[in-house]
Structures are given as structure tokens and as C-alpha cells.
Amino acid sequence: MADVVLKDVTKIFERNIIAADNISFEVKDKEFVVLVGPSGCGKSTTLRLIAGLEELTEGEIYIDGRLVNDIPPKDRDIAMVFQNYALYPHMTVYHNMAFGLKLRKYPRREIERRVHEAAEILGITDLLNRKPKALSGGEQQRVAVGRAIVRKPKVFLFDEPLSNLDAKLRVQMRAEICKLHSHLEATIIYVTHDQVEAMTMGQRIVVMRDGVIQQIDTPLNLYNRPANKFVAGFIGSPTMNFIQGTLSKDWRGGLSFSDGVIKLGLPRRHNRRLQSYVGRELILGIRPEDILNPRFGKSTPETVTIWAKVEVIEPMGNETFLYLNTGSTSLVARFSTTKIPRVGEEMKLMVNMSKCHFFDKDTEIALL
Ligand SMILES: Nc1ncnc2c1ncn2[C@@H]1O[C@H](COP(=O)(O)OP(=O)(O)OP(=O)(O)O)[C@@H](O)[C@H]1O
Ligand SMILES: [Mg+2]
């Protein structure tokens, strides 16, 4: 297994489309790193650059310490699993998995051993004699992964391998790929546009937007300490609430944030960091779970009360989402399932300001 290093990698397609803009990151040996971001942000391009399927415009890529810029894909010792499994329809599962090894002229015995071992790991031994069209989506997916495993590559590259599966199977395969990672002790780079997949699978996550890396961090750090408004809004569901307003200082020196209707006092400890924003517009971010139902939540020095009208209620079973309107802004709150108000009701809410985020209005960079 091996580490992968990207240094100032840029890919510009025809018509000056910048798919990857000065990208640098490092995937350590045996690490599971996820590239995530909205459609068109350059995830597949980045993966294809690592695989050698696209040529770099600028920068350097190292696999296991070796500069691979000029090394063809077949000599990079990587295996890629694509979204459309691209299985050969006329070959059995066995031959689909064996094909790459045959091309590389592995001895028959060794091919047999590797295919059976991979089939065992993936639980598809019973399917080895079937053709792809006689398999379910999940089974086809496993064969595609099996085809990568038999190669025993230094690095696995996955490009949205689960997006063709239904929701339930996706969750199951997610767990299987994680198990596979610890079983094979493999270096994996995994691309998805699904933030839940990224959060649940990645040891570290690279968040991309328009070809530019926004943040590289562990799932919890991305959630708790997003570097900018884009990351804050991209990670988490329902998404973080954003309110635009101004910061003012009261006669006792405390800071408060107001959008003209609601006014939220800030914890004193933020004074120093936000001092220079007094009198200026900025964006407050608050996650749905930090807006509390006062029937349960205890008031603390860092909670403030606001009023809002309940517009929509979404019961999820284990929790309930409330869509609220303060008169100036819409908010989403995540409540437990009991003591839920009714639609149309004006209700008091507690906002846990110890969990609030602030972003510069122009640069959208996190201020706390
Ligand atoms: N061969 C190509 N020629 C020209 N432009 C391309 C090519 N491949 C990708 N692009 C452009 O590069 C940008 C990044 O594309 P890429 O496929 O890497 O995005 P992505 O993040 O994988 O998106 P998705 O989630 O939709 O798969 C897009 O604007 C896309 O249109
Ligand atoms: Mg893609």
C-alpha cells in the first residue's frame, strides 16, 4: 500500500474550463479519504488525474513516493471502480474478475487463487458462474469491487460507486466498503457528491467547489468548525440556518447580532474575535439542532430566546423538523418527537449561541 500526494495540481480543459485549480493534498498510507462537492466541482477529474486517465496541465502527483506524471495508468499500480460498473456482459463473474490479471499474464493458478479469495471477501462465491445481467445492482457492484481487489493495487480509486443503487443497498454497501478498507488495509480515495456518504466513510474529507479545495479535515471538524459558509452549508442535513444581519455593542460592552427583527446576544468570549465587525454586516450560522424547544431545553447564559411562527412540520419518526418564520427570516429546527407545537402557532424558541458560527459577508470565511 502507498501514500498519494498531489502538489499544485491544475487541469484546464478546452475552452478554458478549469476543472482542478491548484489542488494539493496528501493521502497517507492505508488512509480512507473522500473527495466531496457538488456536481461539476472537479472530483472525477481529480481522481482521473491520479489514475493517469487525464493529463495534468500543471503540478505533480506522487504515488508511493514516485512521481507518476509521465507514467501510464497501467503502470501506476492503482485500481479504479466506476459509477457504471462497466462489467463485460458476455463474461461470467469469474472471467470479469480474472480479465485484468489475464491481460497481465498472471499464471492461471494465481488468478484462480486471487479471484476465489476476493469472491470470498465480498460474499459472491456463489455467483462466479453467472453473467452480469443475472445479477442485482448490489451484486454487480461487488463484482466491480472484486475486479479491483484481485489486482492488489497500491491504491484504490472509487468514483461514486454506489450512486446507481437504491437507498437501502447504498447504506449496506457503504458499510461493506468501510469493512473492506480495514480488512485490506488499503489506501482508498473515494469520490461522492453525497455528504452523508462522505461523513460516514471518510477518515478525512476533502471538500471541493468549482475546482478549488475548500477544506480538508476529519468529518467532525468539518461539521463543528467549517472553514467557510460553503462548507457549513454543504455538510449537515437539514442544512445550517444562515441569517444576514449586523453586529452591535450594547452599553455594557456585550455584542449582539440583529437582522432587524430578532436580536441575539453573543457569548462574551466571542468579543475579541468579532470586535472589528461591530457596525458591519455579517452572516450568522446556526445548526437546526441548536434551536431548542424551550419545553425541554434549559436556559443558560449562552441561550437566547426568539419568537417564530411554525409553518411546516416534518415528522421523521425519531425526530421532527420544524420550518419556522421569525418575521424576517426562515429557520429550520430539529426537535424530538414529543411536545411539538402545531402549524400556525407562534412559539418561543431558544437559540444555543454557544454553537453559533459567523461568516464574513463578502469572503464568506468563518470568523470564529
Ligand atoms: N473531457 C472534458 N472536457 C471538457 N470539460 C470537462 C471534461 N471533463 C470534465 N469537464 C468539466 O470539468 C468540470 C469538472 O468535471 P468533473 O467531472 O470532474 O466534476 P465532478 O465533480 O466529478 O461532477 P459530478 O458530481 O457531476 O460527477 C466540469 O465543469 C466539467 O464540465
Ligand atoms: Mg464525477
Residue 355 confidence (pLDDT): 94
> What are the grid coordinates assigned to 170, written together?
447504498
Same domain, 142 and 210: yes
Neighbour-count burial of 275, counting CB atoms closer than 10 A to its CB (0-12 exposed, 13-18 middle, 19+ buried):
exposed
Same domain, 136 and 261: no
Exposure pattern of 26-46 as b/e (b: 16+ CB <10 Å)?
A: ebeebbbbbbbbeeebbbbbb
Q: Judging by DSSP bridges, how do beta strands 346-352 and 303-315 pair with one another?
A: antiparallel
| Structure confidence by residue, pLDDT tens digits, 25-46 | 999 999 999 999 999 999 999 9
Q: Judging by DSSP bridges, how do beta strands 155-159 and 4-13 pair with one another?
A: unpaired
Strand partners, 212: 209
Same domain, 266 and 218: no
Range of the domain at 159: 4-234
Choice among 175-189, 203-217, 241-255 with the minimum mean pLDDT: 175-189
Confidence grade of residue 1 (pLDDT, cut at 50, 70, 90): low
Same domain, 197 and 256: no
Whichever domain contains 253, its CATH number is: 2.40.50.140
Q: Which atom of ligand 1 is nearest to the CA of 47?
A: 18
Question: From the CA of 219, how far away is ligand 1's center (Å)?
Answer: 25
Measure the CA–CA gap between 311 and 332, rounded to whole angstroms. Answer: 10
Between 162 and 346, name the one with better pLDDT. Answer: 346
Enclosing H/E stretch for 247: strand 241-249
| Structure confidence by residue, pLDDT tens digits, 93-141 | 999 999 989 998 999 999 999 999 889 888 889 999 999 999 888 889 8
Question: From the CA of 83, how far away is ligand 1's center (Å)?
Answer: 14
Residue 83 confidence (pLDDT): 81
Neighbours of 13 (CB within 10 A): 12
Contact between 9 and 58 (Cβ < 8 Å): yes
Q: Which residue has the cell 400556525?
A: 344
Residue 186 lies in a domain: yes
Residue 368 confidence (pLDDT): 82
Choose which residue among 44, 46, 56, 209 to substitute to test ligand 1 binding: the one with the highest number of ligand atoms within 8 A of its C-beta: 44
Same domain, 281 and 307: yes
Contact between 235 and 195 (Cβ < 8 Å): yes
Confidence grade of residue 86 (pLDDT, cut at 50, 70, 90): confident
Measure the CA–CA gap between 240 and 234, rounded to whole angstroms. Answer: 8
Residue 367 lies in a domain: no
State the sign of the Cα–Cα–Cα–Cα dihedral 199, 201, 203, 204.
negative
Q: Pick the last residue of a domain from 234, 266, 287.
A: 234
Q: Pick the last residue of a domain from 234, 258, 291.
A: 234
Enclosing H/E stretch for 206: strand 204-209
Residue 365 lies in a domain: no
Measure the CA–CA gap between 319 and 288, rounded to whole angstroms. Answer: 12
| Structure confidence by residue, pLDDT tens digits, 188-223 | 999 999 999 999 999 999 999 999 999 999 999 999
Same domain, 213 and 281: no
Per-residue pLDDT, averaged over 286-292, amounts to 96
Question: From the CA of 363, how far away is ligand 1's center (Å)?
Answer: 25
Residue 38 lies in a domain: yes
- DSSP designation for 227: S
Between 201 and 251, name the one with better pLDDT. Answer: 201
For the chain, the C-alpha Rg in angstroms (whole number) is 25
Same domain, 161 and 19: yes
pLDDT at 302 over 90: no
Enclosing H/E stretch for 334: strand 330-335
Same domain, 246 and 341: yes
Residue 136 confidence (pLDDT): 85
Neighbours of 327 (CB within 10 A): 13
Residue 296 confidence (pLDDT): 82
Measure the CA–CA gap between 92 and 130, rounded to whole angstroms. Answer: 5
State the sign of the Cα–Cα–Cα–Cα dihedral 115, 120, 125, 131.
negative
Neighbour-count burial of 276, counting CB atoms closer than 10 A to its CB (0-12 exposed, 13-18 middle, 19+ buried):
exposed
Same domain, 246 and 230: no
Same domain, 139 and 278: no
Q: Is 138 helix (H, G, I), strand (E, B) or coil?
A: helix
- Identify the nearest ligand to the CA of 46 by its number: 1
Nearest CA to ligand 1 atom 5: 13
Same domain, 215 and 250: no
**Which residues touch 108 (CB under 8 Å, ≥6 apart)?**
none
Average model confidence (pLDDT) across the chain: 93
- The total number of structural domains in the chain stands at 2
- DSSP designation for 358: E
Contact between 100 and 151 (Cβ < 8 Å): yes
Residue 334 lies in a domain: yes
| Structure confidence by residue, pLDDT tens digits, 320-336 | 999 999 999 999 999 99
Nearest CA to ligand 1 atom 29: 40
Residue 326 lies in a domain: yes
Instruction: Name the residue among 348, 355, 328 with its Cα closest to residue 266.
Output: 355
Whichever domain contains 126, its CATH number is: 3.40.50.300
| Structure confidence by residue, pLDDT tens digits, 135-159 | 888 889 889 989 998 988 989 999 9
Q: Which atom of ligand 1 is nearest to the CA of 211?
A: 14
> What are the grid coordinates assigned to 286, written together?
446556526
